Amino acid sequence: QVYLDNAATTNLRKEVLEKITEIYEKTYANPSSVHSFGRESRALLENARNRVAKNLNILAKDIIFTSGATESNNLAIRGIVNAKGKDKEIICSSIEHSSILNLVKQLELEGYIVKYIRVNENGIIDLEHLKSLINENTGLITVMAVNNEIGSIQPIEKISDMIKGKNIHFHVDAVQMIGKKELKPYELGIDSMSISFHKLYGPKGVGVLYIKDNIEIKKAFYGGEQERNKRPGTENLHSILLADIALDYAINNMEKESKYVKELMDYLVDNIKDLENIKIHGENRIDNILNISIKGKNIQMLLPILDMRGIYVSGGSACMSGSVSGSYVLKNMGLSEDEVMSSIRISLGIHNTKEEIDYLISVIKGI
Ligand code: PMP
């Protein structure tokens, strides 16, 4: 088994795995219960919140724990636009994750005006185009930090400079960047940001919405007053405690682990880039994501061949794997139909080895 789909999700880090039983056994009181056992849970939750905040370079009061980045994106964007009203326009990159693109499409149906930022052939948003879309009615801009299919790093700082002093909410889906590169939300003028822990060797079904506590958002659900009265429901305490451990290890070992993954990636790229039928997509990429097309090999046959050889990769993103029409990200980058339909995403992680990459290279050469 060679798991090369780390942008879809990762396996737990051993330090997280080791803590599961203890956390589930000992910590089960509801953090909202007023007895001392409940207060113990509350203290553990708030300790985790403080450390998560520190590791994300934000303040604990700006954190809302959610069920993952899909919820964080929905809560932030719907919450903001509902609070701002339909007079305010939404600007969104054309290569956002489906949890944003499908949401803004729904908002369009509900009467909101949505404008889409073009991307260039390398999967980077066109800043001049963005500039032309901004006007006095712009209420929200949403651009991801790193694209999940191509790995292209987006010019977050430049966007933030462009809108400085304007009353525009800036949302960033930072799922594919956190734990790989440092991000300073306050310095970058980011008003809200989504993260998901299962992409950084933590548990699935838990995420963070960072949103400055003075920003008004309309609630998506009604219930108790948990999470600043913005996200009701008993907190997912066990997963939050494990998520905190995962993030802490990721941040404290980021330099070392990123270097390790980069070396594996450079080795892979060096060995396949000159092959006749291979084309590598995107530029200015994060170290762990590589998107290539193999000329003449449709993913419908390519993926099963790789699977039979024990290699697990994706065609596009996992969230779009039900789609047979091919990746909208690659299409928006201007790739031909053939290239789109013959492209795979290989995403590496800290648990991969050079031997696995050698095996992948030999299988690709065989194909
Ligand atoms: N945004 C991006 C960029 C992603 O890669 C993902 C995961 N596929 C999500 C959002 C959704 O995250 P989650 O699985 O936690 O809902």
Convert the pLDDT of each residue in 258-279 to its tens digit: 999 999 999 999 999 999 999 9
Pocket lined around ligand 1, Cβ cut-off 6 Å:
68-70, 97, 99, 144, 148, 173, 175-176, 196, 207, 317-319
pLDDT at 213: 87
Phi, psi of 211 (to 5 degrees): -150, 130
Ligand 1 atom nearest 7 alpha carbon: 5
Same domain, 205 and 298: no
Same domain, 234 and 103: yes
pLDDT-based confidence at residue 325 (cuts at 50, 70, 90):
confident
Same domain, 233 and 278: no
Q: What is the three-class DSSP state of 18?
A: coil
* Cα(344) to centroid(ligand 1), Å: 18
Q: Whole-angstrom Cα distance, residue 42 to residue 258?
A: 34
**Per the structure, how many domains does the chain have?**
2
* Cα(175) to centroid(ligand 1), Å: 6
pLDDT at 303: 93
Q: How many CB atoms lie within 10 A of CB 288?
A: 27
pLDDT (average), residues 52-65 = 98
**E strands along 187-312, which residues?**
192-196, 207-211, 278-281, 289-294, 311-312
Q: Whole-angstrom Cα distance, residue 324 to residue 105?
A: 20
Same domain, 194 and 259: no
Which one of 252, 275, 295 terminates a domain?
Answer: 252
Q: Whole-angstrom Cα distance, residue 259 to residue 343?
A: 26
Ligand 1 probe mutation, 5, 9, 64, 70, most atoms within 8 A of CB? 70
pLDDT at 34: 97
Same domain, 129 and 235: yes
In terms of pLDDT, which residue wins out, 323 or 155? 155
Ligand 1 atom nearest 73 alpha carbon: 10
Ligand 1 probe mutation, 199, 314, 327, most atoms within 8 A of CB? 199
Distances (CA, A) of 177 to 39, 44, 193, 221, 324: 34, 27, 11, 28, 28
* Cα(285) to centroid(ligand 1), Å: 18
What is the value of ipTM here, to two decimals? 0.99
Q: Are strands 278-281 and 114-117 parallel, antiparallel or unpaired?
A: unpaired
List the residue whose alpha carbon is closest to atom 7 of ligand 1: 8
Domain CATH for 232 = 3.40.640.10
Q: Whole-angstrom Cα distance, residue 246 to residue 252?
A: 10
pLDDT (average), residues 120-141 = 98
Q: Is the pLDDT of residue 360 over 90?
A: yes
Same domain, 237 and 299: no
Q: Is the pLDDT of residue 322 over 80?
A: no
DSSP state at residue 296: T
Active site residues: 319
Which one of 226, 252, 278 terminates a domain?
Answer: 252
pLDDT at 319: 56
| Residue 354, Ramachandran bin (φ over 0: left; ψ between -120 and 50: alpha; else beta) | alpha
Same domain, 123 and 66: yes
List the residue whose alpha carbon is closest to atom 15 of ligand 1: 68
The angle subtended at Cα 101 by Cα 349 and Cα 300, nearest 5°, is 60
Ligand 1 atom nearest 318 alpha carbon: 8
Ligand 1 atom nearest 96 alpha carbon: 3
Same domain, 244 and 339: no
- Containing structural domain, residue 214: 14-252
Ligand 1 probe mutation, 99, 204, 288, most atoms within 8 A of CB? 99
* Cα(278) to centroid(ligand 1), Å: 28
Which one of 252, 275, 300 terminates a domain?
Answer: 252
Domain CATH for 265 = 3.90.1150.10
Same domain, 104 and 215: yes
Same domain, 241 and 279: no
pLDDT at 326: 84
* Cα(97) to centroid(ligand 1), Å: 7
Q: Is the pLDDT of residue 90 over 90?
A: yes
Q: Is the pLDDT of residue 196 over 70?
A: yes
List the residue whose alpha carbon is closest to atom 9 of ligand 1: 69
pLDDT digits (tens, 9 = 90+) for 279-302: 999 999 999 999 999 999 999 999
Q: Is the pLDDT of residue 167 over 80?
A: yes
Query: How many Å from the N-terminal Cα to the C-terminal Cα in the chain?
Result: 18
Ligand 1 atom nearest 319 alpha carbon: 8
Same domain, 219 and 96: yes
pLDDT at 315: 87
* Cα(95) to centroid(ligand 1), Å: 13
In which element (H, E) is residue 25 found? helix 20-26
Same domain, 263 and 345: yes
pLDDT at 321: 55
pLDDT-based confidence at residue 120 (cuts at 50, 70, 90):
very high
Q: How high is the mean pLDDT of the chain?
A: 96
